[in-house]
Structure 1
Amino acid sequence: MQGSGSQTKRSGALLAYKGDRLKPLRAFCQVARLGSVSRAAEALFLSQPAVTLQLQALERDLGVRLLERSGRRLVPTREGEALYELARPLVEQFDGLTTAFRDQLRGMDAGELQIAAGTATILHLLPPIIAAYRMAQPEVRLSLHNVTGESGLDLLRRDAVDLAVGSMLDVPGDLEYAPVYRFDPMLITPHGHPLAQKAELALEDLSPYGLILPPRRLTTYRLVDMVFHQHRVPYTVAMEVGGWEVIKRYVAMGLGISIVTAMCLDGADLAHLTARPLVRWFPRRSYGVVMRKGKQPSPQARAFIELIKPDLFDADGARRGAHSDR
């Protein structure tokens, strides 16, 4: 028991010693920054003798001279420069601890928002929405989970995310889907491709050319397959690859054609691709918010949803009928 008590006393003395070192380090950093004991004393609200005593104690403790006079200024010695580089960030962090702590508490009070979305949605649909949300809710910690299909729905079911943003054909019974945006289906080909030059397109015109599509587990593949089968038109898939950016690149290289939503096409793409609408055969593609049925959204999630679909909640905060957009 006696040994434990002695160890406690030594630990307490060591902590007190380290705590006492902060004041001399703060005084040294101010003198090194301002070049004067008097100016440092004013900045620290101390007397000049108090600052001088702290500097002397620090030099005595470290066994080196830390400051020397150069003209009318005090400047760090070589050892002083080394100490200043080490001590300045520590002193600044300690002095800013209270403000940083309060900011952290405000961030905790503001909460967080977790959103699941696929790459195309994150790249092409969400940027202006996220920018507007950040302006309206700057203290909310926002996380985007780049996942597609069932992976995103699994996160939603496990409450790992607050909501998902994407496109759905079939809505499971435990989820609700509120479509917000609709985009035209587009055929993309390389410039100079026979389909790019054809005056009028028929669905049968696509049959001879291999399609580059996302993996078959995803909505786009299922939609393309459904439309071709409904019209009894044969088709071939030349390649399955994930990501619209990759698909557009491969089409531009002449490796196949594809059917995409207008959402993922911009002016830079049209410098390499020809895009033609296919609304005669393919439905417009909806993108919207997916939520767990019966779960009330957090205030952070509701603020996001109201930003893009303000009519989804009634005056009492209850969700109006979200549905599938088949």
Structure 2
Amino acid sequence: MVTDYLDTRQLEAFVAVVSIGSMTGAAKALGKSQPVITRLIQELERDVGFTVLHRNGPRIAPTEPGLALFSQAELFLSGLRTISERARTIATAAPRPIEIASIPALAASVLPLALSTFAPDQLPRHIHLQSTSAENVVQAVVARSVDIGIASLPLDNPGIDVHWIGEVPCVAVVAESDPLAARDVIEAEDLSGRRLIMSANPYRLRMRIDQALTRHGLAAEKIIDSNATYVSLALARTGVGVALVESATIAGLPVSGVEVKPLGFHVPFYFGIVTASGRPMATAIERLIGAIDDCARAIPGFVRHENASGLETGS
């Protein structure tokens, strides 16, 4: 039976063990003895009611439920660190940090460009940018542990305000040596029999790609799942497959050794700028939202929507 509140020390020990890969390393990182770390993990497993770690001598790996707990624990501890830092800035009257959570596609492309538009004295000393999944972005915004979030659609949570939605087209990325590199446009039939590199999340962009392929009578038979566009780009550069990705990352993070080709069929990628519902925004946050808009407009094919009305929810 899970208790009302888990011990923060247990979660800290668990996250350290999974991140470092050993009890000994976690003990050194946290300044505790190994028996203390072992005891905290045992107490955590007792409190949650399931085993969180596979133990095989010195080798340690999270169990499947342990891996699910890890992502939540990591997000929770990050929020606690944010609270601690904010408490210190309140005590010293220093400008508080800007907290941003974003999906990797925008964290590696539009966001750096948007931040670069500010003069040095217009930004606080600390800016925290967390690159994470869309689901974690929304959770962090709802929990108010971040000031602003950028997440892919669907965005359907009563705890968030969606300021606007951006749309960019998906493209195909292939190695320079690939036969498709000579094409001006890559049609659906060109992908027949090819290994496709695509987003792993089945409920967002991947769903749109699968639907588009199905409409053209294709089914992906050979697949490499990737959880970030820049990983897909690196895979495509090796020639192992054709990457079907959103175009935002490429606009802000160009990769050598590949050719980027438009698709002969339309697959939109939607992302939204969100803040906590009803939360007053600092001037810097309002300006950042506007700067993101300005920088996103430089992406070829960008379209801005005021809301999600009329857009498919399965993006």
Q: Which amino acid aligns with 1:153?
A: V
Q: Which residue of 2 aligns with 1:278?
A: 263
Match of 1:292 among 273, 276, 288: 276
1:301 maps to 2:285: yes
Matches within 5 A, 1:41-120: 108-120=93-105
Match of 1:130 among 112, 115, 118: 115
**How many residues were matched structurally?**
212
Match of 1:214 among 191, 199, 210: 199
Q: 3-state SS of the aligned residue for 2:108?
A: helix
Alpha-carbon distance, 1:157 to partner: 1.2
Distance 1:180 1:324, change over 3 A: closer
The answer on whether the counterparts of 2:188 and 2:264 sit within 8 Å (CA) in structure 1 is no
Alpha-carbon distance, 1:137 to partner: 2.1
The answer on whether the counterparts of 2:187 and 2:263 sit within 8 Å (CA) in structure 1 is no
1:187 maps to 2:187: no
**How large is the RMSD of aligned CA atoms in angstroms?**
3.2
Mark the runs of 5 or more structure 1 residues left unpaired by the alignment.
Answer: 1-103, 311-320
Q: Which amino acid aligns with 1:214?
A: S
Q: Which amino acid aligns with 1:135?
A: P
The answer on whether the counterparts of 2:185 and 2:263 sit within 8 Å (CA) in structure 1 is no
Q: Which residue of 1 aligns with 2:15?
A: none
Identity %: 17
The answer on whether the counterparts of 2:165 and 2:273 sit within 8 Å (CA) in structure 1 is yes
The answer on whether the counterparts of 2:198 and 2:226 sit within 8 Å (CA) in structure 1 is yes
Distance 1:155 1:306, change over 3 A: same
Q: Which amino acid aligns with 1:323?
A: N
Alpha-carbon distance, 1:106 to partner: 10
Q: Rg: which structure is higher?
A: 1
Q: 3-state SS of the aligned residue for 2:117?
A: helix
Distance 1:136 1:237, change over 3 A: farther
The answer on whether the counterparts of 1:171 and 1:324 sit within 8 Å (CA) in structure 2 is no
Q: Which amino acid aligns with 1:290?
A: V
Q: Partners of 1:250 and 1:159 in 2: how far apart?
A: 36
Match of 2:127 among 137, 142, 151: 142
Distance 1:279 1:291, change over 3 A: farther
Output one character per residue of 1:104-159: Cα deviation in whole Å (capped at 9) or x when no partner: 78973533321101223222111121122353623363211121121111111111
Alpha-carbon distance, 1:173 to partner: 4.2
Q: Partners of 2:183 and 2:277 in 1: how far apart?
A: 47
Alpha-carbon distance, 1:188 to partner: 0.8
- Write out the 4+ residue segments of structure 1 that deviate beyond 4 Å after TM superposition: 104-107, 266-270
Identify the structure with the greater helix proportion: 1
Match of 1:263 among 238, 248, 253: 248
The answer on whether the counterparts of 1:176 and 1:290 sit within 8 Å (CA) in structure 2 is yes
Alpha-carbon distance, 1:223 to partner: 2.3
TM-score normalized by the length of structure 2: 0.57
Mark the runs of 5 or more structure 2 residues left unpaired by the alignment.
Answer: 1-88, 295-304
The answer on whether the counterparts of 2:174 and 2:242 sit within 8 Å (CA) in structure 1 is yes
Greater RCO, CA 8 A, separation 6+: 2
The answer on whether the counterparts of 1:117 and 1:145 sit within 8 Å (CA) in structure 2 is yes
